[in-house]
Structure 1
């Protein structure tokens, strides 16, 4: 294997010959290196650390310019002969660093997008709370911050009312949306815990007022959830909101089912008219659709 050479004068560089490496990996012999400092003796073969660091911070082209001479060889056409083996390691490390940097930028961009999406959802939720005239949610800051992961804003879910209260001994945030009633409890240790009751499953809501505080009870089949220690006004409004939301949801569902039944009957009649099914099959399927 041929020895590495100085990119300026083409002298062979051995283990016993001092040399320096430019920023872009080219080797320069100690004789040419020392020519960069007019105060250095011309016949010395030692290169001081300060001068070596200076050379490593400049490219081969810059060194040529500083020396005021051009290389005697076309070193850029045959870099393997004039470049240090360390330059390959440096280039590899630089490539790895660039790749890692790009991946880090990509990850950061993804995190930023997620955070932006979460903030946008939180802004929507805060606006919905404001539109619902929700006030005095003292002590539920963590629960509100967790709502973007619970409320399906993009799916059209909307907060109709919210209030802080207690279920048994746990402080919770009660939220009524156009789809369900949610009880959210954000603990210090276990994180957010939420339970919900779909509006179409609610068959009873009651409100009662004590000497100072109010409470409501939400009945879901055989299960009754008691929400206590609420301020009287929020308790009454929450009960009224749940009642109205449940009634509206059931009415909308009934209308949707009726419309769907009518569509199925029309399709069934078309099948009868086209002779695909007979009268007996039509009557049996019609009773099934109408539930009779």
Structure 2
């Protein structure tokens, strides 16, 4: 697991602020470089936002990102050489094979749950309607809970006067 852990730590530097890694697997990634098919060994991360492939290379790294919403289909398999994941994302056909290290079950579960889905966005609290606030404030004034002076001060604040 030492190689997986080391690659995960290198990959963290390329994640978005607050992005969390939820599963990682080590394998070989089929890709094209300069028009030629090639295989890169690296780590595929399932974060709370996307899948990320990261590989170290002499003098640098390779990084490819696949937002869950862009993954249109996927398949998993297991053979003598290990587990494989294949998915289609934004016109790319991605294959990660020979996976024997990492949390394969969790990775597959996250891919199955999130493929094709937009990430949940935090709800933006709506601004209270100033007229509703004034009505409620008038009720408090009429009930004697708020003084007329407090009511007038808050009314000016709410109306921006």
1:143 is aligned to 7
What is the aligned counterpart of 2:29 among 167, 172, 176?
Answer: 167
Q: CA deviation digits over 1:56-101, x for unaligned, max 9? A: xxxxxxxxxxxxxxxxxxxxxxxxxxxxxxxxxxxxxxxxxxxxxx
**Is the alpha carbon distance of 1:212 and 1:146 closer, same or farther for their aligned partners in structure 2, counting shifts above 3 Å?**
closer
Taking structure 2 as the reference length, what is the TM-score of the superposition?
0.60
Q: Who is 1:119 aligned against?
A: none
Do the aligned partners of 2:73 and 2:115 also contact (CA within 8 Å) in 1?
no
| Higher alpha-carbon deviation: 195-204 or 174-183 | 195-204
Aligned counterparts, 1:107-126, within 5 A: none
Residue of 61, 64, 73 corresponding to 1:204: 73
Higher strand share: 2
Q: Quote the residue 2:113 is aligned against.
A: 244
In the alignment, does 2:88 pair up with 1:219?
yes
Over aligned residue pairs, what C-alpha RMSD do you find?
Answer: 2.9
2:38 aligned with 1:157? no
Per the alignment, residue 91 of structure 1 pairs with none
Equivalent residue runs for 1:1-292 within 5 Å: 136=1, 138-152=2-16, 155-168=17-30, 169-187=39-57, 189-231=58-100, 234-246=103-115, 250=118, 252=120
Paired residues in the alignment total 118
Distance in 2 separating the partners of 1:234 and 1:228: 14
Q: CA deviation at 1:200?
A: 1.4
Deviations 1:216-273 (A, max 9, x none): 01211332200000128844432221222346x52625x96xx8xxx8xxxxxxxxxx
Task: Name the larger-Rg structure.
Answer: 1
Residues 24 and 107, structure 2, Cα contact 8 Å, conserved in 1: yes
Secondary structure at the counterpart of residue 66 of structure 2? strand
Unpaired stretches in structure 2, ≥5 consecutive residues: 31-38, 127-161
Contact kept, 8 Å, 1:206 with 1:239, in 2: the verdict is: no
CA contact (8 A) 1:185 1:192 kept: yes
Q: Which runs of 5+ in 1 are unaligned?
A: 1-135, 264-292
> 1:141: Cα distance to partner?
4.9
2:148 paired residue number: none
Contact kept in structure 1, 2:44 and 2:54, CA below 8 Å:
yes
Q: 1:239 to 1:224 in 2, by over 3 A?
A: farther
Higher helix share: 1
